[in-house]
Amino acid sequence: MTDTNVSRPATGGASALSVEAAPRSAAPPVRGDRSRKRDTRDAVLFLAPYLVIFTVFVLAPLLYGIWVSLHDYDFTLPEAPWVGLENYTGLLTGDSPFAETFWQSVQATWLFTALTVPLLLVLPLLVALVLNQKFPGRNLFRALYFAPYVLGVAVVAVLWRYLLDTNIGLVNHYLGVIGLRDTVPWLTSLPWAWISLVGVTVWWTLGFNTVIYLAALQDISPELYEAARVDGANAVQRFRNVTLPGLRPVVLFITSVTIIASVNMFGQSYLMTAGGPGTETRTGIYEIAEVGLRQFNTGQAAAMSLIFTFFLMVVSLAVFYAFRDRDARR
Amino acid sequence: MTGISRRTDGAGLSRRGFLAAAGALGGAALAGCGSAEPQVATGPALQDEYTGEPVTLRYWHGFTGGDGPAMQALVDRFNESQDRITVEPNTIQWNQYYQRVIAAVHAGKGPDVGTLQIDQLANLAARQTINPLDEVVTQLGLQESEFPQEVWRNGVYRGSRYGVPLDVHSLASYGNRAVLQQAGLERQPRTGEELEEQTRALLAAGVETPFWMPNRWPAHLIFLSLLWQFGGEPYAEDGSRATFDSDAGVQALTWMRRQVDAGISPPDVAQDSQYVGFKNGQGAYTWDGIWQINDLQSTDLDWDIAPVPQVGDQPASWASSHHLVLFRQRDPDDDKLLAGKAFMRYLLEASSEWTAAGMIPALASARETPEFQESPQAALADAVPTLRFLPPVPGLGDVQVQTLEIAVSNAVLGREQPAAALSGAAARATEQMQANQQKFEV
């Protein structure tokens, strides 16, 4: 500890000296510093292409979006009058004709996220634990669980829309065959519409999270399990003290990716329920697409997007805080 | 600009200067492709035949159903009939069509000619997407008297004509003859009372749920038809207010919900299932657009078609019309405009062949031809004067999707009482319509 604390200012001083005054060739102790400098230059060089893409496709549109949100912007009309923060205040105070449906869609989005994310964290882990065992046909099952994820959202949603149809769908038909209620309004009534949307989403994306868990499980050193076993830990204790800590970085990744995917849900409700019944299952992205792309109230939709982004950033920070590396301080 | 370039003079390129220069370069690149705004232009007068340079016309339409092959056949015949114009059709679902075509035209990548629905004509005109066609109508030698009055009149926005009507299509009642005969019924009902008697007979004959009531498309078309029948108007003609929560509207929606409560329709009919059910032999009737004719003809169902029964005080039925339009361009090209007009003239002259799409030709003379007289939809010809259209108000179609359609859905599903559902939605619609009015005033 003390060693590094003392040596750091010393090198710092030397490097400052070397840049300003000392001729480079006559300063052998600085060589390490020079190579470090060249290192950062290489890094910048390698990162530059991404930075360009990031600037062009993320940063610039974001700034442009902020600018758009301050106008009554409609690209098909010759004038886009400046309205300041009116697009935001209208949504916050409820004066905007879109405020009611917007906040309802925000609520719907969080409801969907709150229902989906725990399922997509726990179920894939259980599946991965099973698929990590050695048994015949293991690869077939791995493929089967991953298969739905390969399908596009349109295929998944249209397929299930017909399967879940109240009056002509197969699901209700077979429920009737085994003697259960065969009039469940899967897509036109609450809470069934949410159950359908969450169920289909879990079925569809479970395989992706499973594969990531599986990779992480295979990454945990078998020696740790062996050591635990030698210490007399039973299966539950091994899971709690070896498996879970070993999975933590991956759980952070899966949690944030799943939250972001759930918050961005659009296709399932657009195609399966058309946002219905009423506008109950209309998500934030759905509402933004309707207002911005169909009605061309681009300024209003940009304000919605930024409010939405703000919420998403708060949640992401909360996730990172919850999973922060507590060992780092030690 | 000059201020910045002076600052960077001699001292190399500062970061701020670089950014400004990059911005200017981008601006110049944009300005490079003609004007930044789509321009109004309809080109020189059309002669008997197109004699200009060979051109390729981009033609966008939304005929994705049974009407798609009929349009493709017309386009193919046009391409074969002459060798100077090649029409390249592009089919986009109506649902997606308008947002895409508006964006494409404004990005300078728009099509040359198109077909669109009359409900969206004012919207595209207000959004500077289509050309005024007053001169073109004269060049094509078209007269108001040749078209149904309301169809012709609604092609006008703010004193200029923007579309030429190709056809009329309406809501209609399809009947499954085999099912009707189970109850000894020979024809479809003409009035609400007849419909009630028939459904009672059908239920007695063991036909469960003879008439399925959808909550989504085409539920709002059924609602509008009934509202007009009860003597109401959905919107103020000038686009300032929504009036579909009137007594007529409440009566219409109450009638729709009653079909479910009385067991005539099953509850919770999800998207499209009333039509898929009908196609598979479930139910005695379904009300849907006449664009389904070709689709039903390809099944072995024994069906017929009739006007929507008169449930209210007067006959009325929702209708729309496909109009031919010329899109604005950033760089208008006279040859393409001339070729586009020649293609429009060809389609109008082929009106009677367009009957094959399941549509009713807008041209009165085409409705006299044997092609039309022998088509299934000829059964609706007498109802043409009772067809009703939405007023030409920009943005109205999109407001309707967000308000009226949701109110109808909520009431049919039994989630809200008809009156409450309609008044809430009408208030929201009025707000959005007034916002639109302000927006399009400029």
Q: Is ipTM over 0.85?
A: no
Proportion of chain B above pLDDT 90, given as a percent:
79
B432: closest CA of chain A, how far (Å): 6
**Cα angle for residues B116, B118, B121 (degrees, 5° grid):** 75
Domain assignment present for A25: no
Q: How confident is the model at residue B215 (pLDDT cuts 50, 70, 90)?
A: very high
Query: Touching check for B439 and chain A: CB below 8 Å?
Result: yes
Q: How far apart are CA B255 and CA B248, in angstroms?
A: 11
Q: How many domains does chain A have?
A: 1
Q: What are the tens digits of pLDDT across the range B317-334?
A: 999 999 999 999 999 999
Output DSSP code: residue A297: -
- Residue whose structure tokens are 């060809």: B346
Both structure tokens of B304? 């017929």
CATH classification of the domain holding A294 = 1.10.3720.10
Query: Touching check for A295 and chain B: CB below 8 Å?
Result: yes
Residue A248 sits at φ, ψ, to 5 deg, of -55, -50
Up-side HSE of residue A196: CA atoms within 13 Å toward CB? 32
B127:A76 CB<8 A: yes
Averaged pLDDT, A272-294: 92
Whether B432 contacts B403, CB under 8 Å: yes
B106: closest CA of chain A, how far (Å): 7
Query: Touching check for A188 and chain B: CB below 8 Å?
Result: yes
One-letter identity of residue B236: A
Both structure tokens of A26? 């006559």
Looking at domain B55-169+320-388, its CATH class is alpha beta
pLDDT at residue B363 above 60?
A: yes
Q: Which structural domain range is residue A155 located in?
A: 100-323
Both structure tokens of B278? 């009908």
The answer to which of B38-52, B108-122, B167-181, B188-202 has the lowest mean pLDDT is: B38-52
Q: How confident is the model at residue B442 (pLDDT cuts 50, 70, 90)?
A: low
**Considering only CB atoms, which chain B residues are within 8 Å of A296?**
99, 102, 127
B273:A168 CB<8 A: yes
Decide: helix, strand or coil at residue A224: helix
Q: Which of A77, A183, A290 sits opposite B127 (nearest CB)?
A: A77
Q: Give Cα separations from B20 to A57, B14, B209 (angstroms).
A: 19, 10, 69
A261: closest CA of chain B, how far (Å): 24
What value does the mean pLDDT of chain B take?
89
Averaged pLDDT, B24-32: 44
Proportion of chain A above pLDDT 90, given as a percent:
67
Proportion of chain A above pLDDT 70, given as a percent:
86
Whether A169 contacts A162, CB under 8 Å: yes
Q: What are the tens digits of pLDDT across the range B281-292?
A: 999 999 999 989
Query: Touching check for B269 and chain A: CB below 8 Å?
Result: yes
Domain made up of B171-317+393-441: CATH architecture: 3-Layer(aba) Sandwich (3.40)
Q: How confident is the model at residue A327 (pLDDT cuts 50, 70, 90)?
A: low
Q: Which of B106, B280, B399 sits opposite A75 (nearest CB)?
A: B106
Instruction: Find which of A76, A160, A192, A298 to mutate to test the B interface (most B CBs within 10 Å of its CB).
Output: A76
Q: How far apart are CA A21 and CA A41, in angstroms?
A: 22
Q: Which of A162, A206, A154 is nearest to A187 (CA)?
A: A162
Tell me, what's the pLDDT at A37? 55
Both structure tokens of A159? 């397929």
Q: How confident is the model at residue A38 (pLDDT cuts 50, 70, 90)?
A: low
Dmax over Cα atoms in chain B, in whole Å? Answer: 97
Domain assignment present for A27: no
Q: Which of B128, B271, B432 sits opposite A161 (nearest CB)?
A: B271
- B361: β partners: B167
Query: Touching check for A290 and chain B: CB below 8 Å?
Result: yes
B376: closest CA of chain A, how far (Å): 28
Both structure tokens of B92? 């986009």
Query: Touching check for A35 and chain B: CB below 8 Å?
Result: no
Q: What are the tens digits of pLDDT across the range A236-274?
A: 999 999 999 999 889 989 999 999 999 999 999 999 999
Q: What are the tens digits of pLDDT across the range B172-211?
A: 999 999 999 999 999 999 999 999 999 999 999 999 999 9
Output the pTM of the full model: 0.84
Q: How far apart are CA B406 and CA B288, in angstroms?
A: 18
Tell me, what's the pLDDT at B6? 34
**Considering only CB atoms, which chain B residues are within 8 Å of A172?**
none
Proportion of chain B above pLDDT 70, given as a percent:
92
Length, in residues, of chain B: 442
Averaged pLDDT, A125-140: 92
A58: closest CA of chain B, how far (Å): 17
B277:A100 CB<8 A: no
Q: Give span(s): CATH 3.40.190.10, chain B.
A: 55-169+320-388, 171-317+393-441
B269:A290 CB<8 A: no
Whether B362 contacts B115, CB under 8 Å: no
Q: Are strands B317-326 and B113-117 parallel, antiparallel or unpaired?
A: antiparallel
A278:B99 CB<8 A: no
